[in-house]
């Protein structure tokens, strides 16, 4: 991938980038280094208004869509050329950190400003995008699934934050459910999507590596399982005669761990909640509703894990004389990152003299939703101590600048050579 010499010398403006980062970290600040900006809450809308102001102040075109995604657009390609998206999200988990999301949005904005100031023409247009509700306060990866066209009216009815939260959030932001479904983009209009993010784990920091080039994002499934037995007197029913839903659910939780450890390398399973009903000292549990999530790095393994876990749930239910009800609540396929994007990141890191390693993401990101739409790529920068979704989240500023420069240089490589694999 040969790159124009003037462009290989381009670096982001570290001071402007830092001033933006610190101004943004002050919106919804919790006073302990963290921020509280759940999607479409007042502080989140304030952060978005601030971003919009920065976009117009830079002389870039501001764009928003039916899902409330906010963008800066730089028309630096020929008429009718596709757009290369760069971005992340400005929302946070409740009482989260200040790096998760904003780093990628501000690096994207800074990349557009540098290309604009250099006055160069590329083969694509550039767009720095802030996706709505990546963290799933209302609905996980809301803005990016809307843009990818995979968001459905049915899925919105089961929004994981609950209907009332979704409706209130949309109303605050002046959005509608019908509008959400209009945000879909034509794949032909996009050259790709690149995202800079903090690692949210300790691997890069421990290995003292500057950049992690993501090879793929884990698939995630969530299920509600109900083990159904019979309520009886806990004192007068013999141990042999009980149909105890608590035993089936507990046996399944232990079995899920064993199955993954023994037969599914690289996968994880989590039983995050069990609700006992009626739930009393002296009544044998009639029903237990169990929240199961599992993740796998590749499609065949993911489906096999699903099969084996469901078989095990049925077997444990049978063993304790129970019924079993199964409800699938969420399914996101594992998403491989584009080879072209990975190569652009590797070449950019090499050119900048940065150490890099390829790694897999066990956490979900907007890049995952977009993988069905266009070539996507992602890099991580080191998280000190691996902390994330916490005010303790911290990335050294030099690492933030490195990440932004790799993003800029990888975008230029894709913008010059054309992103289609």
The binding site for Zn ion (CB under 5 A) comprises 100-101
Residues 6+ apart with CB under 8 A from 364: 140, 141, 217, 218, 220, 332
d(CA 76, CA 121): 5
Contact 366, 89 (CB under 8 A): yes
Antiparallel, parallel or unpaired: β 211-217 and 376-381: antiparallel
d(CA 89, CA 195): 10
d(CA 135, CA 149): 19
| Residue 190: CB minimum distance to Zn ion, A | 21
Closest to Zn ion by CB, 229 vs 364, is 364
Question: Other CB atoms closer than 10 Å to residue 21's CB: what's the count?
Answer: 20
| Residue 50: CB minimum distance to Zn ion, A | 18
| Residue 91: CB minimum distance to Zn ion, A | 9
Closest to Zn ion by CB, 379 vs 416, is 379
Closest to Zn ion by CB, 100 vs 244, is 100
d(CA 414, CA 166): 37
**Alpha-helical runs (H) found in 264-396:** 299-319, 339-351, 366-370
Residues of the chain by 3-state class (helix, strand, coil), percent to 5: 40, 25, 35
Name the 3-class secondary structure at 354: coil
Closest to Zn ion by CB, 35 vs 309, is 35
Tokens 């699938």 sit at which residue?
A: 328
| Residue 198: CB minimum distance to Zn ion, A | 8
Closest to Zn ion by CB, 82 vs 101, is 101
Closest to Zn ion by CB, 17 vs 99, is 99
DSSP, res 283: B
DSSP line for 139-200? STTHHHHHHHT---HHHHHT-TT-HHHHHHHHHHHT--HHHHTT----GGGEEEEEEEEE-S
**Alpha-helical runs (H) found in 184-294:** 203-207, 245-263
Contact 2, 99 (CB under 8 A): no
Dihedral of CA atoms 339, 377, 354, 117 in degrees, nearest 10, equals 120
Closest to Zn ion by CB, 101 vs 248, is 101
| Residue 200: CB minimum distance to Zn ion, A | 8
| Residue 297: CB minimum distance to Zn ion, A | 19
Closest to Zn ion by CB, 101 vs 246, is 101
| Residue 143: CB minimum distance to Zn ion, A | 12
| Residue 105: CB minimum distance to Zn ion, A | 10
Closest to Zn ion by CB, 100 vs 316, is 100
| Residue 89: CB minimum distance to Zn ion, A | 6
């Amino acid at each position: 991938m040969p790159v124009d010499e003037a462009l290989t010398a381009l670096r982001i403006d570290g001071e402007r980038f830092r001033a933006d980062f610190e101004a943004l970290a002050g919106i919804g600040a919790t006073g302990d280094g963290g921020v509280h900006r759940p999607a479409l809450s007042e502080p989140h809308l304030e952060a978005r208004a601030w971003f919009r102001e920065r976009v117009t102040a830079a002389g870039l075109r501001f764009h928003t869509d039916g899902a409330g995604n906010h963008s800066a657009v730089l028309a630096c390609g020929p008429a009718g050329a596709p757009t290369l998206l760069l971005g992340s999200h400005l929302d946070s988990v409740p009482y989260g950190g200040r790096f998760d999301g904003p780093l990628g949005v501000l690096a994207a904005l800074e990349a557009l400003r540098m290309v604009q100031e250099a006055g160069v023409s590329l083969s694509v247009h550039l767009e720095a995008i802030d996706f709505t509700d990546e963290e799933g306060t209302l609905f996980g990866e809301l803005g990016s699934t809307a843009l990818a066209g995979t968001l459905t009216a049915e899925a919105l009815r089961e929004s994981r934050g609950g209907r009332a939260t979704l409706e209130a959030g949309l109303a605050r932001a002046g959005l509608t459910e019908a509008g959400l479904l209009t945000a879909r983009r034509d794949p032909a209009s996009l050259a790709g999507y690149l995202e800079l993010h903090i690692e949210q784990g300790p691997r890069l920091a421990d290995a003292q590596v500057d950049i992690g080039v993501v090879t793929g994002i884990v698939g995630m499934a969530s299920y509600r399982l109900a083990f159904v037995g019979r309520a009886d007197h806990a004192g007068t029913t013999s141990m042999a005669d009980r149909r105890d839903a608590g035993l089936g659910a507990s046996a399944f939780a232990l079995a899920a761990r064993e199955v993954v450890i023994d037969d599914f390398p690289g996968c994880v399973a989590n039983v995050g909640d069990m609700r006992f009903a009626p739930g009393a000292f002296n009544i044998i549990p009639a029903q237990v509703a169990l929240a199961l999530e599992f993740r796998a790095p590749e499609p065949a393994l993911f489906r096999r894990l699903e099969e084996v876990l469901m078989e095990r749930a049925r077997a444990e239910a049978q063993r304790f004389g129970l019924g079993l009800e199964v409800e699938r609540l969420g399914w996101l396929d594992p998403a491989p990152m584009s080879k072209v994007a990975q190569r652009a990141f590797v070449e950019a890191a090499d050119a900048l003299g940065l150490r890099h390693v390829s790694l897999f993401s066990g956490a979900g990101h907007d890049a995952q939703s977009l993988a069905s739409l266009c070539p996507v790529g992602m890099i991580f920068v080191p998280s000190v101590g691996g902390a994330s979704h916490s005010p303790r989240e911290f990335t050294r500023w030099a690492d933030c600048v490195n990440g932004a420069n790799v993003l800029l240089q990888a975008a230029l490589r894709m913008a010059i050579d054309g992103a289609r694999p």
